[in-house]
Amino acid sequence: MTKVNEKIAIDHGLKADEYKKICELLNRIPNITELAIFSAMWNEHCSYKSSRKHLKNLHTTGEKVIQGPGENAGVIDIGDDDAIVFKIESHNHPSFIEPYQGAATGVGGIMRDVFTMGARPIANLNSIHFGSPQHKKTKNLLRGVVKGIGGYGNCIGVPTIGGQTSFDESYNGNILVNAMTLGLVNKKKIFYSKAAGINKPVIYVGSKTGRDGIHGASMASAVFDDQIEEKKPTVQVGDPFTEKLLLEACLELMAQDSIIAIQDMGAAGLTSSSVEMASKGKLGIELNLNKVPCREEEMTPYEIMLSESQERMLIVLENGQEEKAKKIFEKWNLDFAVIGKTTNSKNIVINFNNEKVAEIPLDFLAENAPLYDRKWKKTKLPQKINFKNQDFKSLKLKDCLIKILNNPNIADKQWVWDQYDHTVMGDTIQKPGGDAGVVRIHGTKKAVAASVDSSATYCYAHPLTGGKQIVCESWRNLISVGAEPIAITNCLNFGNPEKEKNMGEFVECVQGITEASKFLNFPVVSGNVSFYNETKDKGIKPTPSIGGVGLIKNYENMISMDLKKEGNIILVIGKTEGHLDQSVFAREIFNEKKGPPPEINLFNEKNNGLAITKLINKKLIESCHDISLGGILIAISKMCLKGNKGVKMNKPKYLINTYEYLFGEDQARYLIEVSKNKLKKVEELLDENSIHYEQLGYVIKEKIEFSEKSNISIDELKKGNKQWLKQYMVN
C-alpha cells in the first residue's frame, strides 16, 4: 500500500495545512484509502469550504417552500398535494475535457438528484456558455455539449423545455455546462437522504462500479493547465437507458414504504453518498467493499470509494425489506447488493478482504471540514459613459438592428433546441424560444413554468447589481408567460476563490441575489457552487445562473410573446431612461465595454410584474415579452419574428435620442400587446397601480416601420437573426 505523506496529499488536491489537520484529527497518518476519502469530502465541490459562510445569508424560506437547500434538491408546494422538486448543477470541467460525456452525465446526475427524492422528472433545462465563436475549440465544444445533452435527455424521455446559450472569450479555456431538472411528486411521499436507525441494511443499486470518474470531484475543484487532456479518465461515462431503468425501479420501490433514506452516488461516488447519509442522521456506517458490484477486476478500496461511475444509488432500507427490494431491481435488470449497515459508532468503517482498511469519525469529514473566510475585494461601481449626440449621427437604425440581431448572444438558438426533444411526455405547452418553458401537470389545469438566466456582462461590471439583475430577469420571464414566480435554484460559477477579486465577485453576487430574492419573495431552495473555473491563471467572468420556477393555476391563462393581430396596440411597461452602458448596442456598435450595468429598482420590478400578472389573469392582453438584452427594439423584433407580424413604431416623445430609447437596457420593463377595445381597461389598471407606460406603436403586416422612409421586413429580420448559428455550425 502507498505510504501517505504531504506530497501525496497535495497531489490529491489537499493543502499542506489541511493534511496537517487530518493527521492531528486522526492522531496518526491516514492510509491511502482514508486520504482519498478526506480529499473527496474536503474538496471545494463537496465541502463548500470557501462558500458556506456566504451561502448561509441566502433567502431560503417562503410560504410554498417544503424543502430548502441541504437536500438533493429543493421542493415547492403547487397545491392539491402536488409538489415540484428542482435543482440546477454544474458539470463544467468534465464538459470542457470531454464535451459529450461531460454534458450527458451532467444531465443524468441532475435527474438522479430529482428522482432520488421520489419525483418523476417532467422537464429539463440548461445554461451553457462557450468561448468566442472565433476560438479554435468553440465549435467542437458546442457541438459535443449539445449532442450530449440531447443524447441523454432524449433517451431517458424527459423534455428539454428551455435554456440559455451564450458566447464570451472568458470561457475560451473553461466552458460552463449547467443542467436543471424539474420533477413532480406527491408532497406526502417525498424521500430524503438522512439515515435513521441502527443495524439497518445499506443497499447498493444500479450499474456496476468501474474506474471511470475517479478523482472527478477533486478535478472539479482544480484549475486547468496544459495537461488537461490527461484528465479525461476523470470524466464519467453515462448510460441513459440504464438511468431510465433505475428511475422506474426506484419509483417502484418508493411506493412500497421500504426506504428510510436514499442518496445518489454523484460527486465522490460511494464516499460522499455514504458519509452524507450517515452524518445527517448522526449515525455511523459500515461498508464491506467486497460486496460492491464491480465491472473491472482487482479494483482496490481506494478505487471503489472514489469511482464516479454513473447510474448508481445508495439506499438505507427498513429491516426485512431486502428481498422485496432485490426482486424489484432484478426485474429491471439492475445490480442489487447489501453492502453494509448503519451503526451507532458515528464512524465510517470500510472493510475489504476481511480487513478494516479505513475508519474515520464522520464529524471529521463533515462538521470538521475546512471552512474558510477568504479575503475579498469589493468592486467599485464603474463611472458612467458619457455618450454624445454626435456619436449617433452617422448611424443608420436598420443597420444597427441587423448587426445586433446577428450578435452571437442575440441570434436565434433554434439549432440548439432542435436537437432536444421538447415534446416527449405530451405535456409541453410552451416550447424553447420564449420567455419560459411551460409544462402542464397531467390531469389538472395547472402548469409549471421554468427558465434559466445569467448575465456575466453585468456581474463582471458590478457583481452586486448583476446578482440582483439575474433574479429579476428570472422573475420577469416567469411573469411574461402568466406564471406566479415561486422559487429559484442557483448555479454559481466563478474563478479561483483564493484570489481576492474572484472571491469578491462571488460574495457580492450572492449579496445581490439575496437582496432581490428576499424583496420579490422568490427564495433560493437549491443550488450548486462551481469555483476554479479558470485555465492558465485566466478565469471566467462571474456567471451565476438562476433557474426560476413558477405556477400557472389555469394553463388557459398562459400567454406567449408572439404578436397576434394587426391593429393591436403595443405598450411599453416601465420607464425607459436609455441606459446604454454595458448594453449589446454599446459593445456591438461602439465597441464600448466600460460603464455600470443598468440600475435595479426592486420596487418597480415587483410592482410592474404584479401589474402584468393582473392584466394576464383578467385576459386583457394578447402577448407579453420582457425587455432585456438589446432593449426595446430587439424585444419587439423577437415578438415580430415569433408572430410573423410587423409593428408601426411611434417616435419617442421624451428626453432621449432614438438609439438610447430603442437599445437601452433599463430594467423592470415589458412589452404587451393590447386590443383596441381593451386598451382603456388596461390603462385604468396601470394607472391604479402607478405603473409608467407609453405606446410604442401598433401591429401591422410583415415589417417594422420606423418612419415613412425607414423600415425593415420580417424576412430581413429572419435573415439577420435566424441564420448566424446555423451557418456557424455548418462552416
- Which amino acids are annotated catalytic? 45, 91
Task: Name the phi and psi angles at 541, rounded to 5.
Answer: -70, 150
SS3 496: coil
The C-alpha cell 485555465 sits at 535
For β-strands 259-264 and 160-167, DSSP reports them as unpaired
Q: Residues 6 or more apart from 731 whose CB is under 8 A from it?
A: none
Query: Closest Cα partner for 649 from 665, 632, 664?
Result: 632
In the 3-class helix/strand/coil scheme, how is 180-200 assigned residue by residue?
EEEEEEECCCCCCCCCCCCCC
CA distance 116 to 301: 26
Angle, CA of 223, 228 and 229, to the nearest 5°: 160
CA distance 404 to 511: 32
Decide: 236 and 264 in contact? Cβ < 8 Å: no
Query: Closest Cα partner for 283 from 163, 380, 366?
Result: 366
Query: Closest Cα partner for 337 from 467, 202, 226?
Result: 202
CA distance 412 to 418: 11
The C-alpha cell 473566510 sits at 373
Cell of 18: 489541511
CA distance 410 to 408: 6
Tell me the helices (H) and strands (E) count for the chain, helix number first: 26, 28
Question: 471: how many CB neighbours lie within 10 A of its CB?
Answer: 31
Decide: 65 and 74 in contact? Cβ < 8 Å: yes
CA distance 511 to 178: 21
Strand order in the sheet with 484-493: 428-430, 437-440, 447-453, 543-552, 484-493, 524-530
Rg of the chain (C-alpha set): 26
CA atoms within 13 A on the CB side of 582: 25
Decide: 116 and 259 in contact? Cβ < 8 Å: no
Decide: 350 and 359 in contact? Cβ < 8 Å: yes
Alpha-carbon distance values, 74 to 348, 426, 431 (Å): 27, 25, 24
Question: 40: how many CB neighbours lie within 10 A of its CB?
Answer: 29
Query: Closest Cα partner for 374 from 511, 501, 465?
Result: 501
CA distance 129 to 459: 15
Query: Closest Cα partner for 345 from 513, 163, 198?
Result: 198
Cell of 508: 457580492
In the 3-class helix/strand/coil scheme, how is 110-138 assigned residue by residue?
HHHHHHCCCCEEEEEEEEEEECCCCCCCH
What CA dihedral angle connects 306, 311, 315 and 321, to 10 degrees? -140
Decide: 265 and 312 in contact? Cβ < 8 Å: yes
CA distance 628 to 125: 20
The C-alpha cell 430581413 sits at 716
CA distance 25 to 557: 60
CA distance 479 to 708: 35
CA distance 323 to 649: 71
